[in-house]
A and B are shown apart, each in its own frame.
Chain A
């Protein structure tokens, strides 16, 4: 067979029925993740037609979008934002119970943001097809899986048939050569990429991130990168698995154990793009040219270096974006007064993000004007961070340490930015009102977020490069063997 890309291999291996001019392909789905917001209408549709789930064991459920990030009150009740949120959560419980779907409920020590817990539990594995009614499903592509977001009708399709109807997308290789500078992270890189190729740059394509700078990223950085592929319009983003991937997965609750793990790794090693495989498009990025990157407008394509001049608006839409943000052409985002800092989300709510923020906040106080929320992406991230004392550092700095969930990323649960306030956020979308009506969002890395919280203005995290570099990731802070999670109570 001729040289194939990673995507081609994944496509071929999951083809139940090939596509024709008349009909799309049937693609088999290995893992289906659901949450409370985009699943109720799918369950209702199936029930109204008398259809059951074809393979309920391939669907896993969690609660994340509308759940509170404050703990239960003295009455034991969780402080839901409103009755609709509470009943949506209850509906998912009932649906999962009725249809035999495993749910990581509020009291589960494995619960968290859907795209954080999949990898963390080892549910996400190389070579899989993974879908979820959520556009940031692209996150899971970091493991060499084909992972993408779907709508609620398709959630129903997967439940009923374990398949989706798909037309084969095109492939885009993003080759990132060189090395990222200290204080510059995967988040800066993906913002830079979106700024370079535009919010439509990946439309109709599946991206494979390649090159030395990608290989040098840990798994959490690769997840951050793949997470925001959708912001470049791409269907999915992926990185071929390597030893970094296998080391991350070793010992996770839902991966094969012992000898079976070695056998699984042997299979996972086949998921890469063959030498000479042709991509429909190739984009090259020099990692050394990437600095701390932030957004100045109201979509993620408005990314630029933190100290670069905001460009003159090209059209009315751009001008509206600049005006909405209260910026002006020729100025910089650096120096803008900050009201709120949010660290969390499926983009940057993992342990390495918490650590980076804690290193910068250590021994510091956040600016008196700033409200800072640090929201771990999962119960596991929260436990691991607390075991390292990160919660203590965060609280001592004057920030809030919360229960896991999507929180201010989507502002459905009552955690929101007030009208007119400027938020520096580690999440993925800066659309008007995304973090609350009238909220103004600057997307940034966790390091930029922490540095800005201290200064009270958007700030360059490279000032903290020594602090960040002083503790090498994933080794100096105590975790389990090979970074393995301690998922007690979660059986394989």
Chain B
């Protein structure tokens, strides 16, 4: 995983609530055995017109949003299945952070393992962000802060361990494997299964 320390970008603003993982990447694209290149399937059923051309009304297809790496969305983002293909598809689109007032548990965990920062803020703040797509937002992982161009700054929650993983660009596997002696000791006295 690549380290993620700061993100500076204008945001893609999409007020829609309940954007579920079946929309982020529809199930029929899960027959892949790869994890790269899934961005082309992201939001497939909303992104294209019947003739297969990009729908100009769809938020990710609008010119000002090209190259932006922060998505601000309505409540309950990422609900649904546990497919890690969802954050794989979003990071492949170039996203580095998702801001919403509610982000589903499993999606949140999956995102953090893939260098996509899920940020939960009060709905009132999210609504203000949604109204200002041209604000340049500055996210600092070390500070756990989101700074607005007018100087205001908001703190967001990020688990200390996950923060460290993001800052250092390490994944959790190495950490787990380093605990093999404790696991072996546990297994000696654990009989279930």
Q: With A91-B33, A149-B82 given, can you name 14 additional A-B contacts, CB distance below 8 Å? A: A21-B160, A26-B182, A30-B193, A37-B83, A125-B193, A135-B81, A135-B106, A162-B183, A163-B176, A163-B183, A200-B75, A233-B104, A315-B17, A431-B80
Q: Can you report 11 A-B residue pairs in the complex whose CB atoms are below 8 A from each other?
A: A22-B164, A26-B183, A153-B84, A153-B171, A153-B173, A160-B176, A299-B18, A411-B27, A429-B22, A431-B23, A433-B23
Tell me how far the C-beta of B36 lies from the nearest C-beta in chain A, rounded to whole angstroms: 10
- CB atoms of B22 and A432 under 8 A apart: yes
- CB-based contact A160/B31 at 8 Å: no
Q: How many B residues touch the partner, as a band?
A: 35 or more
A153: B residues at CB distance < 8 A: 84, 110, 113-114, 171-173
Given contacts A49-B173, A160-B173, A437-B45, contact A41 B193 (CB under 8 A): no
**Within residues 29 to 86 of chain A, which ones have a CB less than 8 A from any CB in chain B?**
30-31, 37-38, 40-41, 44-45, 49, 51, 54-55, 58, 65-66, 82, 84-85
Cβ-defined partner of A433 (8 Å) among B45, B113, B177? B45
Q: Does A192 contact B (CB under 8 A)?
A: no
Point out the residues of chain A lying under 8 angstroms from B84, CB to CB. Answer: 38, 41, 133, 151-153
Taking residues whose C-beta sits less than 8 angstroms from the other chain, chain A's interface range is 35 or more
Q: With A17-B182, A432-B22 as given contacts, are A84 and B190 in contact (CB-CB < 8 Å)? A: no
User: Would you call A459 an interface residue if the criterion is a C-beta within 8 Å of the partner chain's C-beta atoms?
Assistant: no
A367 CB contacts on chain B under 8 angstroms: none
CA distance A219 to B30 in the complex (A): 31
Q: In the docked arrangement, what's the CA distance between A38 and B32, Å? A: 9
Pair B30/A16 contact, Cβ less than 8 Å: no
Residues of chain B in range 83-130 having any CB-CB distance to chain A below 8 Å: 83-85, 102, 104-106, 109-110, 113-114
- Pick the residue among B45, B76, B104 that contacts A432 (CB under 8 A): B45
Question: Can you list the 4 inter-chain pairs with the closest CB atoms, starting with the nearest?
Answer: A84-B31, A40-B33, A151-B110, A151-B84
Bound: A364/B152 CA distance, A: 67
A135 and B109 alpha carbons, distance in the complex (Å): 13
Interface, chain B (partner A; CB < 8 A): 15-18, 20, 22-23, 26-28, 30-35, 45, 74-76, 79-85, 102, 104-106, 109-110, 113-114, 159-161, 164, 171-173, 175-177, 179-180, 182-183, 186-187, 190, 192-193
Q: Describe A's contact surface by its main secondary structure.
A: loop
Known interface pairs A21-B160, A58-B193; A165-B172 also in contact (CB < 8 Å): yes
Nearest B residue (CB) for A198: B76
Residues of B with C-beta under 8 A to A135: 80-82, 106
Whole-angstrom distance between the alpha carbons of A163 and B182 in the complex? 11
User: Which residues from 82 to 128 on chain A have a C-beta closer than 8 Å to any C-beta of chain B?
Assistant: 82, 84-85, 87-88, 91, 125, 127-128
A41 partner, pick from B17, B22, B28, B35, beta carbons under 8 A: B35
* A24 on the B face (CB < 8 A): yes
Q: How far is the CA of A274 from the CA of B117 in the complex (A)?
A: 39
Are A51 and B105 in contact (CB-based, < 8 A)?
no
- Whether the pair B31, A128 counts as a contact (CB closer than 8 A) is no
A252: interface (CB < 8 Å)? no
- A161–B180 contact, CB under 8 A? yes
Query: Which B residues lie within 8 Å of A377 (CB)?
Result: none
